[in-house]
Structure 1
Amino acid sequence: MTPRSFKRIAVAGIVAATGLAIAAGPASANPKPSVTVPVRLISINDFHGNLEPPTGSGGAIVNESGVSVPAGGAAYMATHLKSLVNQNSAVVAAGDLIGASPLISAAYHDEPTVELLSKLGLSVSSVGNHEFDEGLTELKRIQNGGCHPTDGCSPAGEWQGAGYQYLGANVLQESNDRYALPPIAIKKINGVNVGFIGLVTQTTPTIVTASGIAGLKFSEEVESGNRAAALLRRAGVKAIVALVHEGDQITPNQSPDACPVTPGAGTRIAQGLSADVDLVIMGHSHQAYICKTTDPAGNDRFYTQGSSFGRVLTTIDFKVDKKTGEVVRSSVVADNHVVTRDVTADPVISQFVQTWKDRVSTVANKAIGNITADLTRAAGPSGETALGDVIADAQLEATKTGGNAEIALMNPGGVRADLTYAPSGSEGAGVVTYGEAFTVQPFNNLMQVVTLTGAKLDALLEQQWQNGGATTRILQPSASLTYTMSLSQPIGSRISDIKINGVPVTDTQSIRVAANNFLVGGGDGFSVFKDGTDLWSGPLDIDAFVAYLGAHSPIAPPAVNRITVAG
């Protein structure tokens, strides 16, 4: 079914299901004063399966007073959520609830996380790009139920499906332009109908492995959102909320209630969506902000985001006119609540998390190596990080035999957490467990090696600056690769002095380059990888990392000097 045909035939079904009437009756000669009812939405985004309190830099956030505080953890989130829920509220989300998850959730294909969110009353969510990590068929299994086709049922028994609905108004089947997922949902909240549109970043094909989005295409967000909004209006729904898995970056260390955004894709969508859309709830960029813009009709419109990993809950309060069904825009108030850990953890959710922790503990608690100090994602002037360098070294070591790799490159977005020297449990200071390593490298990507010429390697490194320089992704290099970047030069001419093991690279020489299959498939915009030849596939990236930690412990943070920054 195409988006247009869906609009033509689905309205009747929506009307029948909700009891809505599209045709309006004659106006009263003596209209009564407007009566409004309050509605509260409580939103989350980018939870990424963080059932346990996240650690490292991902386990803290700057609060309203400008102080960095520990935040997150499902049991603490449940306590905060209970204090915010009332009879007028609904819990909603903006995607990436699963995928790139710690082992406690990922080991069971994120069923524990989906069960948790269902228990907490989540009613509807947009899909995020990570909902497609294991493909559409797996996402539909998560939505509808049934045991995993390869791994079978989890220790909890047959999977019953999500208690909430995933939406994707711009996720289409490539073969026929039909919706791959429901584009909209209508929820009755405090006696009034509120319509929800789900949208995911149109860049999803560049940031998800090719197998995960096979057979799908992701259309532009504003056009798709406006088409869905028109469908809701035809169904008689006038209070409309867009759940959008896309967002902006911010000036760091600001209050979560501030609006220090650098306008980007998130602002573009928030400003471009039809005036029929009253609120825009965002995700993807893992930032916290409360912003206001104007819609195409000149009306004020809030757009918000609630950080990531369950560290923030966003409340949006507004009134709906019972007669017209419209949101009273002047009534909208939004607030980001930090999920602090200075409250009593919810005992039921604490036990739920502990149950899954016990189930995975044999694997998760296994010590695999040691570090002498924190290995972090804190970037030097070039964008190089100590942890990224260690991962690249591990990938090179794992692909030398068989793949004949000479250098390795790691995408920074695939490094999901820091390795901290302080113990996270009973393992002892400096001990790295399998669970901690998996949290750093959770994608189970396959290591691959391709041959590139020196000229192609140079072109690949130039792709670290994309969208006219608006997007920068510095590939983390193995110790065998050094080069100079000159940021004052135009994009396309910034890389020079490339060397492998100290020997200058020529344009015509052949180089065996190792990377994960996401990058080799052209992910993150590194399309030059697809020009590689003589493809070889090796171990999983997590296995390479674990083996390296075991063989080289204790590991000290390396100097981040493989990339030289020139003026």
Structure 2
Amino acid sequence: MTLAKLLPLAAALALGACTTVRDTPSATPVTVKIVGLNDFHGNLEPLAKPVELTSENGAEHAVRAGGAAYLASAVAEHRNGGDHSLVIAAGDLIGGSPLVSSLFLDEPTIGAMNRLGLDFNAVGNHEFDRGWRELKRMQEGGCEKFGLRDPCAVEPDFGGADFAFLAANVMTGGGTLFPGHAIRRFGSGERAVAVGVIGLTLKDTPTLVTPSGVEGLTFGDEADAINALIPELEREGADAIVVAIHQGLSPEPGTPYSGCGAVAGALRAVLERLDPRVDLVISGHTHRTYVCDFSTVDPARTFTVSSAGYGGALLTDIALTIDPAANEVTAVTARNVVVQNAPAPGGEAADPAFAAFTPDAAIADYVARYAAAAHEAESRPVGKISGPAPDPGPATEETQLGNLIADAQLFATREAGAQIAFMNNSGVRAAILPGEDGTVTFGDIYAAQPFGNTLMTKTFTGAQLLALLEQQFDDDGFVQTFSASEGFALRYDMGRPSGNRVVSATLDGAPIDPAANYRVTMNSFLAAGGDTFTVFADGAEAATGPTDLDAMESYLRATEMRQLPATGRITDLTAR
């Protein structure tokens, strides 16, 4: 997931559980319960770190949460209380996943969601990490191989998703990649109702994945795609219209987990253009928690907007009250629910501020089957490092872990003439925390770099290299610095005009010469212009190297104890 630059903050919306009441029902109302999910990212097991949350009263909590078996129990409980129910996810169900899922091409996440009862998933950017053909396999099943890993390693009869992927703005030559919408009908007679669901991803998805993975596809404007489908849903008799979109808001720090705060973020511009007939927007991508009544921003648009954070640690409990005679939604209630893990006997006590869920036994057994299959690979030692390499910070923050990865990539591609290696900070996904003796396992390095990229080495002129470095700080997309290999140094100033923010760039102490040639290594995602770094695609004399994980393992094994590199390669001179 990559954060978009924020739009200016609007007035704060201090909301708890959100309730939007419209007109008085004219007939016996029908309640449709909806469980909203987003950004599960294959987290089949409980999250390793407690989830930090702020309550309505300002109290701070750190809660053990998540895991497919616990999430299934929470979903089952919160489907109750209505006449009918749906479970809808807003993308990034798969991709960027822990080893227990990604080692098996996220097949177990599809299997867990089948068992959980998911009805619809809007595609997110990470659904395309392994390419659209592999994503089609996730929907349709089968064991055709589209990448380096063999599919169907644990389940030889992988049948694909029982739920529907939706992709209203992802176009192929002959239409949408997946259906853009669906309609679910409930009840009969006077109490018959229909819920229309539109699903889509952010239009910037091609800048966030390897271009070959979306080759032949086009990604359209989000609001245009949604608005075009609403008349069709109404013709099909939809009483309620739900949008699941993989784009999000970014409330200010300290916003309660079921509140809203200021309505900022890339999704706001989409919401401001939506047809007012939309009743509910389930969102994601920013990994934030919020429940917003958008009528506070625009009284003509009375829909509720929700997001349940990251990794299955929360869900959104939603109820639509529908007047079947008037064919309209008369009320929407929504709140985020923490999927707190019930403690094991003798374990740490649960936080009394939240309900604790016991795991669904069948899904727990299913996950355990995959965890056992992954254990041998996960626990294999690959080397030692001199200390912990903490969690990656913001994309502009230099870290020892980022520098370690860049050094490993330079080491692995010296034979291709590499002089510099760059790693995108947004691609570093987890800390590496060695054992007491410094031992690092394959599972550790996999968690840090779970995307299976190969390394590429290309020739750039110094002028191209300087243009590439400026792209870190331009106004196209989000700002992030590279992690850079040893010997390279960069100083920048965000107070200068775009295109002139690099103050200096040196290799082994010498300024980058615009007329000279340089051999530069990057991962295959960047090599194709990923994260809007289009200059990477312009390099010449490309040489393909090992995978990023093989490079790291070779680098660690080359010495008994690999010292973590110091920081200081990237210097921010911006006045503070």
**TM-score bracket relative to the smaller structure:** 0.7 to 0.9
Tell me if structure 2 keeps the 8 A contact 1:320–1:326: yes
Counterpart residue number, 1:8: none
Tell me if structure 2 keeps the 8 A contact 1:94–1:245: yes
Question: What is the correspondence of 1:228-247 to structure 2 with a 5 Å cutoff?
Answer: 228-247=229-248
User: Residues 134-156 of structure 1: CA distance to partner in whole angstroms, max 9, x if unpaired?
Assistant: 22222222111212336253322
Tell me if structure 2 keeps the 8 A contact 1:369–1:553: yes
CA RMSD of aligned residues (A): 2.3
User: Residues 399-451 of structure 1: CA distance to partner in whole angstroms, max 9, x if unpaired?
Assistant: 111x2111111112211222234x6xxxx674322122112111111100111
SS at match of 2:340: coil
Tell me if structure 1 keeps the 8 A contact 2:313–2:338: yes
Counterpart residue number, 2:448: 440
SS at match of 2:443: helix
Moved more, 549-558 or 250-259: 549-558
Provide the rounded CA distance (Å) in 1 between the counterparts of 2:240 and 2:69: 32
Provide the rounded CA distance (Å) in 1 between the counterparts of 2:157 and 2:132: 20
Provide the rounded CA distance (Å) in 1 between the counterparts of 2:455 and 2:469: 19
Superposition deviation, residue 225 in structure 1? 0.8
Counterpart residue number, 1:394: 408
Provide the rounded CA distance (Å) in 2 between the counterparts of 1:154 and 1:562: 42
Q: Does 1:52 align with 2:65?
A: no
Counterpart residue number, 2:508: 501
Q: Does 1:84 align with 2:78?
A: yes
Percent of counterpart pairs with the same letter? 38
Change in 2 beyond 3 A, CA 1:286/1:352: same
Superposition deviation, residue 123 in structure 1? 0.4
SS at match of 1:498: strand
Superposition deviation, residue 305 in structure 1? 1.0
Tell me if structure 1 keeps the 8 A contact 2:484–2:569: yes
The one of 180, 184, 189 aligned to 1:183: 180
Tell me if structure 1 keeps the 8 A contact 2:475–2:498: no
Change in 2 beyond 3 A, CA 1:152/1:460: closer
Q: Mind listing any 5+ residue stretches in structure 2 that lack a counterpart?
A: 1-24, 343-355
Matched to 1:332, the amino acid is V
Question: What is the correspondence of 1:437-476 to structure 2 with a 5 Å cutoff?
Answer: 437-467=445-475, 471-476=478-483
Counterpart residue number, 1:13: none
Matched to 1:33, the amino acid is S
Tell me if structure 1 keeps the 8 A contact 2:432–2:440: yes
Provide the rounded CA distance (Å) in 2 between the counterparts of 1:381 and 1:98: 22
Provide the rounded CA distance (Å) in 1 between the counterparts of 2:52 and 2:230: 34
Q: Does 1:417 align with 2:430?
A: yes
Counterpart residue number, 2:18: none
Provide the rounded CA distance (Å) in 2 between the counterparts of 1:544 and 1:67: 39
Question: What is the correspondence of 1:6-25 to structure 2 with a 5 Å cutoff?
Answer: none
Provide the rounded CA distance (Å) in 1 between the counterparts of 2:494 and 2:144: 48
Change in 2 beyond 3 A, CA 1:223/1:530: same
Provide the rounded CA distance (Å) in 1 between the counterparts of 2:392 and 2:128: 28
Provide the rounded CA distance (Å) in 1 between the counterparts of 2:363 and 2:197: 28
Counterpart residue number, 1:276: 277
Provide the rounded CA distance (Å) in 1 between the counterparts of 2:420 and 2:323: 62
Provide the rounded CA distance (Å) in 1 between the counterparts of 2:410 and 2:534: 21
Provide the rounded CA distance (Å) in 2 between the counterparts of 1:251 and 1:488: 23
SS at match of 1:319: strand
Superposition deviation, residue 248 in structure 1? 2.6
The one of 322, 328, 331 aligned to 1:320: 322
Matched to 1:536, the amino acid is A
Q: Does 1:360 align with 2:374?
A: yes
Provide the rounded CA distance (Å) in 2 between the counterparts of 1:380 and 1:221: 27
Matched to 2:157, the amino acid is E
Moved more, 76-85 or 111-120: 76-85
Tell me if structure 2 keeps the 8 A contact 1:75–1:349: yes
Change in 2 beyond 3 A, CA 1:33/1:49: closer
The number of equivalent residue pairs is: 524
Counterpart residue number, 1:527: 534
Moved more, 438-447 or 189-198: 189-198
Counterpart residue number, 1:137: 133
Superposition deviation, residue 505 in structure 1? 1.5
Provide the rounded CA distance (Å) in 2 between the counterparts of 1:143 and 1:50: 19
Question: What is the correspondence of 1:126-165 to structure 2 with a 5 Å cutoff?
Answer: 126-149=122-145, 151-165=150-164
SS at match of 2:402: helix
SS at match of 2:105: coil
Change in 2 beyond 3 A, CA 1:473/1:260: farther
SS at match of 1:231: helix
The one of 63, 66, 77 aligned to 1:72: 66
Matched to 1:498, the amino acid is A
Q: Mind listing any 5+ residue stretches in structure 1 that lack a counterpart?
A: 1-31
SS at match of 1:515: strand
Matched to 1:95, the amino acid is G
SS at match of 1:249: coil
TM-score, normalised by the number of residues in structure 1: 0.87
Superposition deviation, residue 189 in structure 1? 4.7
Tell me if structure 1 keeps the 8 A contact 2:196–2:238: yes
Superposition deviation, residue 251 in structure 1? 2.4
Q: Does 1:335 align with 2:335?
A: yes
User: Residues 321-366 of structure 1: CA distance to partner in whole angstroms, max 9, x if unpaired?
Assistant: 11122111xx212111122223333332222111111112221211
Counterpart residue number, 1:481: 488
Question: What is the correspondence of 1:87-98 to structure 2 with a 5 Å cutoff?
Answer: 88-98=84-94
Provide the rounded CA distance (Å) in 1 between the counterparts of 2:77 and 2:433: 32
Superposition deviation, residue 183 in structure 1? 0.7
Provide the rounded CA distance (Å) in 2 between the counterparts of 1:192 and 1:336: 25
Counterpart residue number, 1:383: 397
Superposition deviation, residue 557 in structure 1? 4.3
SS at match of 1:208: coil
Tell me if structure 2 keeps the 8 A contact 1:147–1:154: no
Tell me if structure 2 keeps the 8 A contact 1:63–1:338: no
Provide the rounded CA distance (Å) in 2 between the counterparts of 1:166 and 1:529: 32
Tell me if structure 1 keeps the 8 A contact 2:473–2:501: no
Matched to 1:109, the amino acid is L
Counterpart residue number, 1:105: 101
Counterpart residue number, 1:223: 224
Counterpart residue number, 1:34: 27
Change in 2 beyond 3 A, CA 1:256/1:457: same
Q: Does 1:540 align with 2:510?
A: no
Matched to 1:350, the amino acid is A
Tell me if structure 1 keeps the 8 A contact 2:460–2:518: yes
Provide the rounded CA distance (Å) in 2 between the counterparts of 1:81 and 1:554: 46
Provide the rounded CA distance (Å) in 2 between the counterparts of 1:245 and 1:164: 17
User: Residues 355-391 of structure 1: CA distance to partner in whole angstroms, max 9, x if unpaired?
Assistant: 1111122212111123343312444895212221111
Matched to 2:379, the amino acid is N
SS at match of 2:206: helix
Change in 2 beyond 3 A, CA 1:475/1:497: same
Change in 2 beyond 3 A, CA 1:514/1:253: farther
Tell me if structure 2 keeps the 8 A contact 1:94–1:244: yes
Matched to 2:243, the amino acid is A
Counterpart residue number, 2:118: 122
Counterpart residue number, 1:309: 311
Provide the rounded CA distance (Å) in 1 between the counterparts of 2:490 and 2:214: 34
Provide the rounded CA distance (Å) in 2 between the counterparts of 1:254 and 1:70: 20
Tell me if structure 2 keeps the 8 A contact 1:380–1:560: no
Superposition deviation, residue 552 in structure 1? 4.3
Tell me if structure 2 keeps the 8 A contact 1:382–1:563: no
